[in-house]
Amino acid sequence: MSFEGEKASVQFHEIGLDDRILKAIAKLGWAEPSLIQEKAIPLFLDGKDVLMKARTGSGKTGAFTIPVIQRILSSKEVNPDLQNTQALILAPTKELSSQIHKVMLQLTSKCSRDVRIVDISSQADISAQKPLLVDFPDIVIATPGRAVAHLKAETLNLKDLKMLVIDEADLMFSCGYEEDVKQVLKSLPKIYQAALASATLSADVLNLKKLVLHNAVTLKLQESELAPLKQLTHYKHYSEASEKHAVLYSLLKLGLIRGKSIIFVNTVDKCYRLKLFLDQFKISSCILNSELPAASRCHAVAQFNEGVYDIIIASEESFLDDPSVDSRRNKDKEFGLSRGIDFQHVSNIINYEFPESINSYIHRAGRTARGSNKGFFEENPKDLRTLRHDKKRKAPKTGQHISNVPDYLVPNSLKSVTGLIKIKKAKKKFVPPSTANKKYEVSSSAFQMQNDFILLPKKICTFFGQK
């Protein structure tokens, strides 16, 4: 597996990595480093502070986790009895932390005894997490909030820290972690090596850079922000707002969209409404939004990744919103939605509601065509079954009850497609024509005009024709 369109000039075995890491990388199927990995890993191994800005899905996680693990293995070669927390990795959400943890466990699968990693980002009680930290794991992964909570409880000791990494640096401040990050920095020794990873170089990232990095090398890769077109195809389809439901239904039911899909909407309400709509047609989906508790969000992503659901409906909200503005709703400030979450094998991204900024489009699109995956279609057994044309396609099942559900769930446009709509004839009151009746005159001429184009039912045409 390699990143398309980005031919690596060095191979993993040429970067000076431990054999155990190389074996783990091979097990992951990563044939060669991505561009950001190729540039960042040697710099970090050299002891440099690095700011890596690379498009979403370009392999930044590997770019900082591989050298962190390598440096820990090297330090243990020199001093096998060394046991202290050498690296702290901060991520803005629990989902991201657990994803980094998962990647690190895979990368240390051949040296798990030598490199111990814990993720303390979950909301478990601080005292319940104490045993995880008591014998100074080599790498701690946390959200800044959790790191501060443990520092206050004196369950986390960073006095011997050698490396600090902040992932998704552009989200840290907008997630409300500015103070927590500053608090963490106060607990670090004077000298440590640091790296920031980000998909954008926002003002927040530059502020963090000033706070965290020293004489840093900035890697701003000259690459497209999105995966190459060979890998990711963009389609656009124009439709009236009221018809979007019908279009989506058709795309899904006719098999025009295959594989796992993320449908993006812009509000939490829409998230639920769309799910209810799809439920009506026995199209099962799960949802992801900022009102769900963290555990449910993780569960939804896990179920989607495991293939329990092929569709996830996600609402995206601006991180720059003042969290205090909408007090009715209990928004989770750690909600990073899908930014940085590694949804696996996503074939399609559907912008059901158009993203509010270019960045948002890029991040949404970055959920597919990740790594070396093609964007549109994945070859998994389930998809291949779908492709079998020797089997008769099942006609979509729609129940009679669809005609009784509210319009916002099944709009009339779709009811008429399925033949379930009962056209209610409006009872018209007879109003005698009167030249003094302005309202009548206006509507009359409007209808007359349409009459010219034979657009009206005969009955009405006749009525106005008599005038």
Ligand X SMILES: Nc1ncnc2c1ncn2[C@@H]1O[C@H](COP(=O)(O)OP(=O)(O)OP(=O)(O)O)[C@@H](O)[C@H]1O
Among 43, 59, 111, 184, binds ligand X (CB under 6 A): 59
**Residue 371 or 411: which CB sits closer to ligand X?**
371
Of 323, 301, 298, the C-alpha closest to 121 is 298
Cβ at position 199, least distance to ligand X in Å: 5
Of 18, 10, 25, 26, the C-alpha closest to 45 is 18
Cβ at position 82, least distance to ligand X in Å: 28
CA distance 317 to 7: 35
Who contacts 439 (Cβ-Cβ below 8 Å, separation ≥6)? Answer: none
CA distance 30 to 3: 9
User: Residue of minimal CB distance from ligand X?
Assistant: 371
H or E element, residue 25? helix 19-28
**Residue 32 or 138: which CB sits closer to ligand X?**
32
Cβ at position 371, least distance to ligand X in Å: 2
Cβ at position 28, least distance to ligand X in Å: 6
Site residue total, ligand X (CB under 6 A): 22
Among 92, 144, 371, 411, binds ligand X (CB under 6 A): 371
**Residue 97 or 129: which CB sits closer to ligand X?**
97
Among 340, 349, 361, 369, binds ligand X (CB under 6 A): 340
102-109: which pairs have CB atoms within 8 A and are 24 or more residues apart?
103/61, 103/62, 103/65, 104/65, 104/69, 104/139, 104/141, 106/24, 106/27, 106/28, 107/21, 107/24, 107/25, 107/28, 107/62, 107/65, 107/66, 107/69, 108/20, 108/21, 108/24, 108/69, 109/24, 109/27
**Residue 245 or 367: which CB sits closer to ligand X?**
367
Cβ at position 329, least distance to ligand X in Å: 26
Q: Are 20 and 45 in contact (CB under 8 A)?
A: no
Residues 342-361 that bind ligand X (CB under 6 A): 342
Pairing of strands 311-315, 286-288: parallel
Among 39, 53, 60, 258, binds ligand X (CB under 6 A): 60
- Residue 16 zone, left/alpha/beta (φ > 0; ψ -120 to 50; rest): left
Point out which span in 154-162, 230-238, 269-277, 368-376 binds ligand X (CB under 6 A): 368-376
Of 443, 425, 421, the C-alpha closest to 433 is 443
Residues 372-401 that bind ligand X (CB under 6 A): 372
Q: What are phi and psi of 59, to 5 degrees?
A: 95, 30
**Residue 145 or 366: which CB sits closer to ligand X?**
366
What is the token pair recorded at 191?
Answer: 């000298």
Of 112, 138, 117, the C-alpha closest to 20 is 112
Among 17, 40, 56, 312, binds ligand X (CB under 6 A): 56
Q: What is the per-residue binding string for ligand X in 140-179, x denoting contact by CB under 6 A? A: ----------------------------------------
Cβ at position 112, least distance to ligand X in Å: 19
Cβ at position 110, least distance to ligand X in Å: 17
Q: Is the dihedral of CA 139, 143, 146, 151 positive or negative?
A: positive
Cβ at position 416, least distance to ligand X in Å: 41
Cβ at position 171, least distance to ligand X in Å: 10
34 binds ligand X (CB under 6 A): yes
Q: Are 396 and 265 in contact (CB under 8 A)?
A: no
Cβ at position 38, least distance to ligand X in Å: 9
67 binds ligand X (CB under 6 A): no
Q: What are phi and psi of 139, to 5 degrees?
A: -125, 130
Point out which span in 52-60, 118-126, 187-195, 433-441 binds ligand X (CB under 6 A): 52-60
Q: Are 337 and 290 in contact (CB under 8 A)?
A: yes
Catalog residues that contact ligand X under the rule CB under 6 A: 1-3, 30, 33-34, 37, 54, 56-62, 199, 340, 342, 366, 370-372
